[in-house]
Amino acid sequence: MGGSLGVCAQTTTKPAPAAAVPVAAPDLTRALPDFSALVEQAGPAVVNIRTSEKVKVANAQVDEQMRELLRRFGIPVPPQRRAPPGANPPPAPAPDDDEDDDAPQRRGLGSGFVIGADGFVMTNAHVVDDADEVMVTLTDKREFKAKVVGLDRRTDVAVLKIEASNLPLLRMGDVGKLKVGEWVMAIGSPFGFDNTVTAGIVSAKARDTGDLLPLIQTDVAINPGNSGGPLLNLRGEVVGINSQIYSQSGGFMGISFAIPIDEAMRVADQLRASGRVTRGMLGVYPDDVSKEVAEAIGLGKPQGALISRITPAGPGEKAGLQLGDVITKFDGKTVEKAVDLRRLAAATKPGTKVPLQVFRRGAYKDLVATLDALPDDRTPAAPDAEAPAATGAQAWGLTVSELSEAQRKELKVDGGLRIDTAEGPAARAGLKAGDVILSANNAEVKTVKQFQAALAKVEKGKSLQMLVRRGEVATYVVLKPGKG
Protein backbone atom coordinates (compact mmCIF):
# COMPACT_ATOMS: atom_id res chain seq x y z
CA MET A 1 0.00 0.00 0.00
CA GLY A 2 2.93 2.20 0.81
CA GLY A 3 4.36 1.41 -2.66
CA SER A 4 1.14 2.39 -4.28
CA LEU A 5 1.12 5.60 -2.37
CA GLY A 6 4.71 6.20 -3.46
CA VAL A 7 3.78 5.69 -7.11
CA CYS A 8 0.83 8.03 -6.75
CA ALA A 9 3.10 10.62 -5.26
CA GLN A 10 5.29 10.46 -8.40
CA THR A 11 2.45 10.78 -10.98
CA THR A 12 1.55 14.47 -10.48
CA THR A 13 -0.59 16.43 -12.96
CA LYS A 14 0.99 18.93 -15.45
CA PRO A 15 0.82 22.61 -14.47
CA ALA A 16 -1.84 24.70 -16.28
CA PRO A 17 -0.46 26.65 -19.28
CA ALA A 18 0.11 30.37 -18.83
CA ALA A 19 -2.60 32.65 -20.19
CA ALA A 20 -1.92 33.75 -23.83
CA VAL A 21 -0.79 37.37 -24.22
CA PRO A 22 -2.77 39.18 -27.02
CA VAL A 23 -0.66 40.40 -29.96
CA ALA A 24 -0.79 44.19 -30.29
CA ALA A 25 -2.51 45.37 -33.49
CA PRO A 26 -0.45 47.67 -35.71
CA ASP A 27 -1.04 51.38 -35.18
CA LEU A 28 -2.64 52.23 -38.51
CA THR A 29 -2.92 55.89 -37.53
CA ARG A 30 0.85 56.08 -37.91
CA ALA A 31 0.84 54.35 -41.30
CA LEU A 32 -1.82 56.55 -42.95
CA PRO A 33 -1.98 60.35 -42.84
CA ASP A 34 -4.75 62.22 -41.08
CA PHE A 35 -5.87 65.06 -43.34
CA SER A 36 -8.26 66.71 -40.87
CA ALA A 37 -5.81 69.31 -39.56
CA LEU A 38 -4.72 70.07 -43.11
CA VAL A 39 -8.32 70.63 -44.20
CA GLU A 40 -8.94 73.02 -41.30
CA GLN A 41 -5.79 74.93 -42.18
CA ALA A 42 -6.17 75.14 -45.97
CA GLY A 43 -9.93 74.94 -46.48
CA PRO A 44 -10.79 78.61 -45.81
CA ALA A 45 -8.53 79.75 -48.69
CA VAL A 46 -10.31 77.57 -51.28
CA VAL A 47 -13.21 79.16 -53.16
CA ASN A 48 -16.13 78.03 -55.28
CA ILE A 49 -16.51 79.64 -58.71
CA ARG A 50 -19.74 79.93 -60.68
CA THR A 51 -19.88 81.36 -64.17
CA SER A 52 -22.62 82.30 -66.59
CA GLU A 53 -22.50 83.02 -70.31
CA LYS A 54 -25.24 84.23 -72.60
CA VAL A 55 -25.82 81.60 -75.24
CA LYS A 56 -25.57 82.96 -78.77
CA VAL A 57 -27.84 80.46 -80.46
CA ALA A 58 -26.73 81.40 -83.96
CA ASN A 59 -23.06 81.05 -83.15
CA ALA A 60 -21.85 77.52 -83.83
CA GLN A 61 -18.55 78.32 -82.13
CA VAL A 62 -20.25 78.15 -78.73
CA ASP A 63 -20.94 74.48 -79.34
CA GLU A 64 -17.30 73.92 -80.20
CA GLN A 65 -16.20 75.61 -76.96
CA MET A 66 -18.43 73.28 -74.98
CA ARG A 67 -17.06 70.30 -76.90
CA GLU A 68 -13.54 71.38 -76.03
CA LEU A 69 -14.46 71.69 -72.35
CA LEU A 70 -15.90 68.17 -72.40
CA ARG A 71 -12.78 66.87 -74.13
CA ARG A 72 -10.59 68.47 -71.44
CA PHE A 73 -12.32 66.36 -68.83
CA GLY A 74 -12.18 63.22 -70.93
CA ILE A 75 -15.95 63.12 -71.43
CA PRO A 76 -16.88 61.35 -74.69
CA VAL A 77 -18.02 63.82 -77.34
CA PRO A 78 -20.31 62.70 -80.18
CA PRO A 79 -18.83 63.19 -83.65
CA GLN A 80 -19.61 66.48 -85.32
CA ARG A 81 -21.20 66.62 -88.73
CA ARG A 82 -18.49 67.65 -91.13
CA ALA A 83 -18.69 69.58 -94.35
CA PRO A 84 -17.74 67.81 -97.59
CA PRO A 85 -14.01 67.73 -98.36
CA GLY A 86 -12.81 71.08 -99.70
CA ALA A 87 -15.81 72.99 -98.43
CA ASN A 88 -15.15 76.10 -96.39
CA PRO A 89 -17.31 76.51 -93.27
CA PRO A 90 -19.32 79.71 -93.17
CA PRO A 91 -17.94 82.41 -90.89
CA ALA A 92 -19.52 82.78 -87.49
CA PRO A 93 -22.18 85.50 -87.44
CA ALA A 94 -21.27 88.79 -85.83
CA PRO A 95 -22.29 89.06 -82.18
CA ASP A 96 -25.48 90.97 -81.55
CA ASP A 97 -24.67 94.18 -79.72
CA ASP A 98 -28.26 94.35 -78.48
CA GLU A 99 -28.26 91.08 -76.61
CA ASP A 100 -31.49 90.06 -75.00
CA ASP A 101 -31.25 90.04 -71.22
CA ASP A 102 -33.60 87.07 -71.29
CA ALA A 103 -31.28 85.05 -73.53
CA PRO A 104 -30.51 81.51 -72.37
CA GLN A 105 -27.62 81.25 -69.91
CA ARG A 106 -24.89 78.62 -69.94
CA ARG A 107 -23.65 78.09 -66.41
CA GLY A 108 -20.39 76.57 -65.23
CA LEU A 109 -18.73 75.47 -62.02
CA GLY A 110 -15.14 75.45 -60.89
CA SER A 111 -12.79 75.95 -57.98
CA GLY A 112 -9.99 78.33 -57.08
CA PHE A 113 -7.81 79.49 -54.22
CA VAL A 114 -6.60 82.78 -52.77
CA ILE A 115 -3.09 83.89 -53.75
CA GLY A 116 -3.37 87.47 -52.48
CA ALA A 117 -4.87 88.64 -49.20
CA ASP A 118 -6.20 91.67 -51.09
CA GLY A 119 -8.53 89.56 -53.22
CA PHE A 120 -6.50 87.83 -55.94
CA VAL A 121 -7.70 84.31 -56.77
CA MET A 122 -6.11 81.70 -59.05
CA THR A 123 -8.09 79.19 -61.12
CA ASN A 124 -8.03 77.49 -64.53
CA ALA A 125 -8.45 79.55 -67.69
CA HIS A 126 -11.07 77.14 -69.02
CA VAL A 127 -13.23 77.75 -65.94
CA VAL A 128 -13.75 81.45 -66.72
CA ASP A 129 -12.95 81.66 -70.44
CA ASP A 130 -15.72 83.53 -72.32
CA ALA A 131 -17.82 83.91 -69.16
CA ASP A 132 -20.02 87.00 -69.00
CA GLU A 133 -20.20 86.86 -65.21
CA VAL A 134 -17.95 85.20 -62.62
CA MET A 135 -19.06 84.76 -59.00
CA VAL A 136 -16.69 83.68 -56.22
CA THR A 137 -18.02 82.20 -52.97
CA LEU A 138 -15.83 81.85 -49.86
CA THR A 139 -16.19 79.14 -47.24
CA ASP A 140 -17.84 81.67 -44.89
CA LYS A 141 -20.60 82.02 -47.56
CA ARG A 142 -19.61 85.54 -48.60
CA GLU A 143 -20.13 85.99 -52.33
CA PHE A 144 -18.35 88.39 -54.69
CA LYS A 145 -18.58 89.29 -58.34
CA ALA A 146 -15.09 88.71 -59.73
CA LYS A 147 -13.13 90.53 -62.41
CA VAL A 148 -10.94 88.45 -64.73
CA VAL A 149 -7.54 90.12 -64.42
CA GLY A 150 -6.15 87.90 -67.17
CA LEU A 151 -6.09 84.36 -68.45
CA ASP A 152 -3.62 82.28 -70.42
CA ARG A 153 -5.07 79.42 -72.44
CA ARG A 154 -1.70 77.87 -73.25
CA THR A 155 -1.06 77.02 -69.59
CA ASP A 156 -4.74 77.04 -68.52
CA VAL A 157 -4.08 79.58 -65.76
CA ALA A 158 -6.31 82.53 -64.84
CA VAL A 159 -6.23 85.22 -62.16
CA LEU A 160 -9.39 86.81 -60.73
CA LYS A 161 -9.87 89.81 -58.45
CA ILE A 162 -12.59 90.24 -55.85
CA GLU A 163 -13.18 93.27 -53.64
CA ALA A 164 -12.18 91.73 -50.32
CA SER A 165 -9.28 92.08 -47.89
CA ASN A 166 -7.52 90.10 -45.15
CA LEU A 167 -8.32 86.84 -46.89
CA PRO A 168 -6.69 83.58 -45.74
CA LEU A 169 -3.75 82.54 -47.91
CA LEU A 170 -2.22 79.25 -48.97
CA ARG A 171 1.54 78.77 -48.93
CA MET A 172 3.24 77.82 -52.19
CA GLY A 173 5.30 74.61 -52.16
CA ASP A 174 8.51 73.56 -53.89
CA VAL A 175 7.58 71.33 -56.83
CA GLY A 176 11.23 70.31 -57.18
CA LYS A 177 11.01 68.55 -53.80
CA LEU A 178 7.76 66.75 -54.66
CA LYS A 179 8.31 62.99 -54.84
CA VAL A 180 6.50 60.24 -56.72
CA GLY A 181 4.54 58.26 -54.14
CA GLU A 182 4.08 61.25 -51.83
CA TRP A 183 0.63 61.86 -50.35
CA VAL A 184 -1.31 64.82 -51.75
CA MET A 185 -4.78 66.23 -51.21
CA ALA A 186 -7.25 68.20 -53.32
CA ILE A 187 -10.02 70.56 -52.22
CA GLY A 188 -12.66 71.71 -54.68
CA SER A 189 -16.28 71.64 -55.81
CA PRO A 190 -16.81 68.53 -57.96
CA PHE A 191 -20.28 68.65 -59.54
CA GLY A 192 -20.99 71.67 -57.31
CA PHE A 193 -20.38 69.89 -53.98
CA ASP A 194 -18.48 72.67 -52.20
CA ASN A 195 -15.36 72.02 -50.12
CA THR A 196 -15.01 68.38 -51.13
CA VAL A 197 -11.75 66.80 -50.01
CA THR A 198 -10.06 63.93 -51.87
CA ALA A 199 -6.60 62.44 -51.42
CA GLY A 200 -4.12 60.17 -53.13
CA ILE A 201 -0.48 60.02 -54.16
CA VAL A 202 1.72 61.53 -56.82
CA SER A 203 1.76 58.98 -59.64
CA ALA A 204 4.31 60.68 -61.89
CA LYS A 205 5.98 64.02 -62.51
CA ALA A 206 6.62 65.96 -65.72
CA ARG A 207 3.97 64.20 -67.82
CA ASP A 208 4.03 65.56 -71.38
CA THR A 209 0.29 66.07 -71.71
CA GLY A 210 0.53 69.85 -71.72
CA ASP A 211 1.92 71.93 -74.58
CA LEU A 212 4.06 74.39 -72.65
CA LEU A 213 3.99 72.76 -69.22
CA PRO A 214 4.84 69.28 -67.96
CA LEU A 215 2.04 68.18 -65.61
CA ILE A 216 1.88 66.36 -62.28
CA GLN A 217 -0.02 63.07 -62.48
CA THR A 218 -1.88 61.82 -59.38
CA ASP A 219 -4.56 59.31 -58.47
CA VAL A 220 -6.52 61.92 -56.50
CA ALA A 221 -10.22 61.82 -57.41
CA ILE A 222 -10.83 64.84 -59.65
CA ASN A 223 -14.11 65.52 -61.45
CA PRO A 224 -15.73 68.43 -63.32
CA GLY A 225 -15.94 71.29 -60.82
CA ASN A 226 -12.57 70.48 -59.25
CA SER A 227 -10.86 72.47 -61.99
CA GLY A 228 -8.80 75.33 -60.62
CA GLY A 229 -8.65 73.99 -57.07
CA PRO A 230 -5.36 73.42 -55.22
CA LEU A 231 -3.33 70.23 -54.96
CA LEU A 232 -1.62 70.29 -51.55
CA ASN A 233 1.16 68.31 -49.88
CA LEU A 234 1.02 67.18 -46.26
CA ARG A 235 2.64 70.45 -45.14
CA GLY A 236 -0.37 72.36 -46.43
CA GLU A 237 1.56 73.85 -49.34
CA VAL A 238 0.12 74.17 -52.84
CA VAL A 239 2.11 72.10 -55.33
CA GLY A 240 -0.31 72.23 -58.26
CA ILE A 241 -3.62 73.36 -59.75
CA ASN A 242 -6.01 70.53 -60.58
CA SER A 243 -6.71 70.90 -64.28
CA GLN A 244 -7.44 67.71 -66.24
CA ILE A 245 -8.47 64.09 -65.94
CA TYR A 246 -8.02 61.11 -68.21
CA SER A 247 -11.26 59.22 -68.71
CA GLN A 248 -12.97 56.96 -71.21
CA SER A 249 -16.27 57.06 -69.37
CA GLY A 250 -16.66 60.69 -68.39
CA GLY A 251 -15.95 59.97 -64.72
CA PHE A 252 -12.79 59.69 -62.67
CA MET A 253 -10.68 56.65 -63.64
CA GLY A 254 -7.67 57.05 -61.35
CA ILE A 255 -5.61 59.45 -63.47
CA SER A 256 -5.69 63.20 -62.98
CA PHE A 257 -3.30 66.01 -63.82
CA ALA A 258 -2.26 69.22 -62.09
CA ILE A 259 -0.33 72.26 -63.31
CA PRO A 260 2.92 72.66 -61.32
CA ILE A 261 2.49 75.64 -59.02
CA ASP A 262 5.90 77.16 -59.74
CA GLU A 263 5.05 77.44 -63.43
CA ALA A 264 1.53 78.64 -62.64
CA MET A 265 2.82 81.39 -60.35
CA ARG A 266 5.19 82.67 -63.05
CA VAL A 267 2.19 82.99 -65.35
CA ALA A 268 0.06 84.54 -62.59
CA ASP A 269 2.68 87.18 -61.84
CA GLN A 270 2.62 88.34 -65.47
CA LEU A 271 -1.18 88.29 -65.54
CA ARG A 272 -1.35 90.43 -62.41
CA ALA A 273 1.21 92.85 -63.81
CA SER A 274 -0.10 93.29 -67.36
CA GLY A 275 -3.13 91.05 -67.91
CA ARG A 276 -1.26 88.86 -70.41
CA VAL A 277 1.76 86.59 -70.77
CA THR A 278 4.78 87.37 -72.94
CA ARG A 279 6.78 84.45 -74.36
CA GLY A 280 9.70 84.01 -76.69
CA MET A 281 9.50 82.39 -80.13
CA LEU A 282 12.24 80.90 -82.30
CA GLY A 283 10.08 80.70 -85.42
CA VAL A 284 10.61 77.02 -86.24
CA TYR A 285 8.46 73.88 -86.24
CA PRO A 286 10.31 71.11 -84.41
CA ASP A 287 9.76 67.34 -84.52
CA ASP A 288 11.17 64.55 -82.36
CA VAL A 289 14.18 62.64 -83.69
CA SER A 290 13.45 58.92 -84.13
CA LYS A 291 16.05 56.24 -83.47
CA GLU A 292 16.24 55.42 -87.18
CA VAL A 293 16.82 59.06 -88.15
CA ALA A 294 19.42 59.55 -85.41
CA GLU A 295 21.39 56.56 -86.68
CA ALA A 296 21.03 57.59 -90.31
CA ILE A 297 22.38 61.12 -89.83
CA GLY A 298 25.11 60.09 -87.40
CA LEU A 299 23.61 61.74 -84.31
CA GLY A 300 24.07 58.53 -82.34
CA LYS A 301 21.01 58.60 -80.10
CA PRO A 302 17.51 60.01 -80.58
CA GLN A 303 17.72 63.45 -79.02
CA GLY A 304 17.19 67.07 -79.95
CA ALA A 305 14.55 68.85 -82.02
CA LEU A 306 14.48 68.25 -85.77
CA ILE A 307 13.58 71.42 -87.72
CA SER A 308 10.85 70.54 -90.23
CA ARG A 309 9.68 74.07 -91.10
CA ILE A 310 11.06 77.58 -90.63
CA THR A 311 9.01 80.77 -90.49
CA PRO A 312 10.17 83.14 -93.24
CA ALA A 313 12.10 86.13 -91.86
CA GLY A 314 11.72 84.70 -88.34
CA PRO A 315 14.40 84.45 -85.65
CA GLY A 316 15.41 80.93 -86.73
CA GLU A 317 15.92 81.88 -90.36
CA LYS A 318 17.82 85.03 -89.39
CA ALA A 319 20.08 82.93 -87.12
CA GLY A 320 20.97 80.66 -90.04
CA LEU A 321 18.93 77.59 -89.15
CA GLN A 322 18.18 75.24 -92.03
CA LEU A 323 15.61 72.52 -92.66
CA GLY A 324 16.90 69.22 -91.32
CA ASP A 325 18.97 70.83 -88.56
CA VAL A 326 18.73 69.20 -85.14
CA ILE A 327 18.87 71.64 -82.22
CA THR A 328 20.59 69.81 -79.35
CA LYS A 329 21.13 72.74 -76.96
CA PHE A 330 19.21 75.95 -76.30
CA ASP A 331 20.93 78.58 -74.17
CA GLY A 332 23.21 75.88 -72.80
CA LYS A 333 20.34 73.57 -71.81
CA THR A 334 20.07 70.13 -73.39
CA VAL A 335 17.15 69.61 -75.76
CA GLU A 336 15.97 66.00 -75.52
CA LYS A 337 12.84 66.31 -77.65
CA ALA A 338 10.77 68.80 -79.61
CA VAL A 339 8.59 69.85 -76.68
CA ASP A 340 11.73 70.87 -74.75
CA LEU A 341 12.61 73.39 -77.45
CA ARG A 342 9.10 74.86 -77.45
CA ARG A 343 9.09 75.20 -73.67
CA LEU A 344 12.58 76.66 -73.43
CA ALA A 345 11.82 79.24 -76.12
CA ALA A 346 8.49 80.16 -74.55
CA ALA A 347 10.12 80.64 -71.15
CA THR A 348 12.66 83.10 -72.58
CA LYS A 349 11.98 86.84 -72.79
CA PRO A 350 11.47 88.15 -76.33
CA GLY A 351 14.51 90.05 -77.59
CA THR A 352 16.93 87.75 -75.78
CA LYS A 353 19.96 86.52 -77.72
CA VAL A 354 20.16 82.78 -77.25
CA PRO A 355 23.09 80.49 -78.23
CA LEU A 356 22.04 77.34 -80.08
CA GLN A 357 23.95 74.12 -80.66
CA VAL A 358 22.91 72.54 -83.95
CA PHE A 359 23.76 69.18 -85.48
CA ARG A 360 24.02 69.58 -89.25
CA ARG A 361 25.33 67.07 -91.79
CA GLY A 362 27.41 65.09 -89.33
CA ALA A 363 28.90 67.99 -87.34
CA TYR A 364 27.91 70.38 -84.58
CA LYS A 365 27.55 74.09 -85.29
CA ASP A 366 27.00 77.05 -82.95
CA LEU A 367 24.46 79.75 -83.84
CA VAL A 368 22.89 82.70 -82.03
CA ALA A 369 19.18 83.61 -82.36
CA THR A 370 17.35 86.70 -81.14
CA LEU A 371 13.87 85.60 -80.10
CA ASP A 372 10.66 87.26 -81.24
CA ALA A 373 7.49 87.44 -79.16
CA LEU A 374 5.18 84.45 -79.46
CA PRO A 375 1.76 85.66 -80.69
CA ASP A 376 -0.59 85.78 -77.71
CA ASP A 377 -3.79 83.79 -77.55
CA ARG A 378 -5.97 86.90 -77.48
CA THR A 379 -6.20 86.90 -73.74
CA PRO A 380 -8.32 89.83 -72.59
CA ALA A 381 -6.79 92.05 -69.93
CA ALA A 382 -10.23 92.12 -68.36
CA PRO A 383 -13.78 91.26 -69.44
CA ASP A 384 -14.63 94.93 -69.92
CA ALA A 385 -11.36 95.90 -71.57
CA GLU A 386 -11.27 97.67 -74.93
CA ALA A 387 -10.83 95.56 -78.03
CA PRO A 388 -7.17 95.54 -79.10
CA ALA A 389 -6.11 97.80 -81.92
CA ALA A 390 -5.97 95.79 -85.13
CA THR A 391 -2.42 96.65 -86.11
CA GLY A 392 -1.11 93.21 -87.02
CA ALA A 393 -1.83 89.52 -87.50
CA GLN A 394 -1.47 88.86 -83.76
CA ALA A 395 -4.43 91.12 -82.99
CA TRP A 396 -6.59 88.80 -85.11
CA GLY A 397 -5.22 85.57 -83.62
CA LEU A 398 -3.25 84.70 -86.77
CA THR A 399 0.25 83.54 -87.58
CA VAL A 400 0.97 83.18 -91.27
CA SER A 401 3.81 82.18 -93.61
CA GLU A 402 4.46 82.71 -97.29
CA LEU A 403 3.74 79.94 -99.77
CA SER A 404 6.68 78.17 -101.35
CA GLU A 405 7.03 78.03 -105.12
CA ALA A 406 5.91 74.40 -105.08
CA GLN A 407 2.83 75.25 -103.01
CA ARG A 408 1.86 78.09 -105.36
CA LYS A 409 2.14 75.76 -108.34
CA GLU A 410 0.08 73.09 -106.60
CA LEU A 411 -2.66 75.59 -105.74
CA LYS A 412 -2.32 77.38 -109.08
CA VAL A 413 -2.07 80.81 -107.47
CA ASP A 414 0.40 83.67 -107.86
CA GLY A 415 0.63 84.36 -104.15
CA GLY A 416 -1.14 84.02 -100.84
CA LEU A 417 -0.29 83.27 -97.22
CA ARG A 418 -0.70 79.97 -95.42
CA ILE A 419 -2.36 80.19 -91.99
CA ASP A 420 -0.12 78.44 -89.46
CA THR A 421 -2.28 79.06 -86.37
CA ALA A 422 -5.77 80.52 -85.98
CA GLU A 423 -6.96 81.58 -82.53
CA GLY A 424 -9.25 84.23 -81.06
CA PRO A 425 -11.11 86.23 -83.75
CA ALA A 426 -9.69 84.04 -86.55
CA ALA A 427 -10.87 80.81 -84.91
CA ARG A 428 -14.29 82.29 -84.19
CA ALA A 429 -14.62 83.10 -87.89
CA GLY A 430 -14.05 79.44 -88.74
CA LEU A 431 -10.45 79.73 -89.96
CA LYS A 432 -7.91 77.00 -89.25
CA ALA A 433 -4.31 76.06 -89.96
CA GLY A 434 -3.74 75.20 -93.61
CA ASP A 435 -6.17 77.75 -95.03
CA VAL A 436 -4.70 80.18 -97.59
CA ILE A 437 -5.34 83.94 -97.42
CA LEU A 438 -5.60 85.43 -100.92
CA SER A 439 -6.61 89.00 -100.03
CA ALA A 440 -7.24 91.21 -97.02
CA ASN A 441 -9.77 94.04 -97.24
CA ASN A 442 -9.69 93.75 -101.05
CA ALA A 443 -5.90 94.07 -101.18
CA GLU A 444 -4.07 91.12 -102.76
CA VAL A 445 -1.47 89.63 -100.42
CA LYS A 446 1.55 87.67 -101.60
CA THR A 447 3.98 88.42 -98.77
CA VAL A 448 3.78 88.80 -95.00
CA LYS A 449 4.83 92.43 -95.41
CA GLN A 450 1.86 93.12 -97.73
CA PHE A 451 -0.49 91.40 -95.29
CA GLN A 452 0.73 93.46 -92.34
CA ALA A 453 0.40 96.62 -94.42
CA ALA A 454 -3.22 95.75 -95.23
CA LEU A 455 -3.99 95.06 -91.57
CA ALA A 456 -2.43 98.35 -90.49
CA LYS A 457 -5.08 100.19 -92.51
CA VAL A 458 -7.97 98.58 -90.59
CA GLU A 459 -9.55 101.15 -88.29
CA LYS A 460 -9.70 100.34 -84.60
CA GLY A 461 -12.82 98.38 -83.73
CA LYS A 462 -13.65 97.65 -87.39
CA SER A 463 -14.00 94.23 -89.01
CA LEU A 464 -11.45 92.57 -91.28
CA GLN A 465 -12.63 91.00 -94.52
CA MET A 466 -10.48 88.35 -96.21
CA LEU A 467 -10.72 86.07 -99.21
CA VAL A 468 -9.69 82.64 -97.96
CA ARG A 469 -9.17 79.40 -99.84
CA ARG A 470 -9.58 75.93 -98.40
CA GLY A 471 -8.98 73.05 -100.77
CA GLU A 472 -10.56 74.03 -104.09
CA VAL A 473 -13.08 76.40 -102.53
CA ALA A 474 -12.56 80.13 -101.88
CA THR A 475 -14.91 82.34 -99.88
CA TYR A 476 -14.96 85.64 -98.05
CA VAL A 477 -14.61 85.54 -94.27
CA VAL A 478 -15.24 88.43 -91.89
CA LEU A 479 -13.27 88.67 -88.63
CA LYS A 480 -14.60 90.67 -85.70
CA PRO A 481 -12.03 92.37 -83.42
CA GLY A 482 -11.67 91.45 -79.77
CA LYS A 483 -13.95 89.09 -77.91
CA GLY A 484 -16.81 87.85 -80.09
- 94-103, 123-132, 200-209 — which is least confidently predicted? 94-103
List, as one string, the DSSP characters of 77-135. -PPPP-PPTTPPPPPPPPPPSS--TTS-EEEEEEEEEEEETTTEEEE-HHHHTT-SEEE
Share of the chain above pLDDT 70, in %: 77
Question: Among this protein's residues, is 247 annotated catalytic?
Answer: no
C-alpha to C-alpha distance for 214 and 244, rounded to whole angstroms: 12
Annotated binding residues = 126, 156, 225-227
Residue 379 has pLDDT above 70, yes or no: no
Q: What is the pLDDT of residue 416?
A: 86
Active-site position among 111, 203, 227, 401: 227
Amino acid at 7: V
How do residues 174-194 score in pLDDT, each as one tens digit? 999 999 999 999 999 998 898
Cα–Cα dist 295/308, whole Å = 18
The per-residue pLDDT for range 154-170, each reduced to its tens digit, is 899 999 999 999 999 99
Instruction: Name every residue whose Cβ is closer than 8 Å to that of residue 64 and which is 6 or more positions away in sequence.
Output: none
Name the more confident of 95 and 423: 423
Identify the pLDDT of residue 21.
Answer: 57
Identify the structural domains of the chain with CATH numbers, from first to last: 33-76+102-277+375-385 (2.40.10.120), 280-373 (2.30.42.10), 393-479 (2.30.42.10)
Q: Which of 197, 194, 199, 196 is nearest to 140 (CA)?
A: 194
Indicate the annotated binding residues for substrate: 126, 156, 225-227
| Strand intervals (E) in 271-384 | 280-281, 284-288, 305-310, 326-330, 333-334, 353-360, 363-370, 372-373
Biggest CA pair distance of the chain: 138
DSSP string, 463-482: -EEEEEEETTEEEEEEEPSS
Q: How would residue 72 be classed by pLDDT, with cut points 50, 70 and 90?
A: low
Burial bucket for residue 95 (CB in 10 Å: 0-12, 13-18, 19+): middle
State how far the Cα of 139 lies from the Cα of 126, in Å rounded to an integer: 22
Catalytic residue among 129, 152, 156, 372: 156
pLDDT tens digits along 290-304: 898 888 889 989 999
- CB neighbour burial string for 145-180, b if at least 16 within 10 angstroms, e if fewer: ebebbbbbbbbbbbbbbbebeebbbbeebebeebee
Active site residue 463: no
Element (H, E) at 455: helix 448-456
384 given a catalytic annotation: no
Contact in structure between 448 and 402 (CB atoms under 8 Å): yes
Q: Is the pTM higher than 0.75? A: no
CA atoms of 128 and 94, how far apart (whole Å): 22
**Of the listed 126, 129, 256, 435, which one is catalytic?**
126
Residue 297: strand, helix, or coil: helix
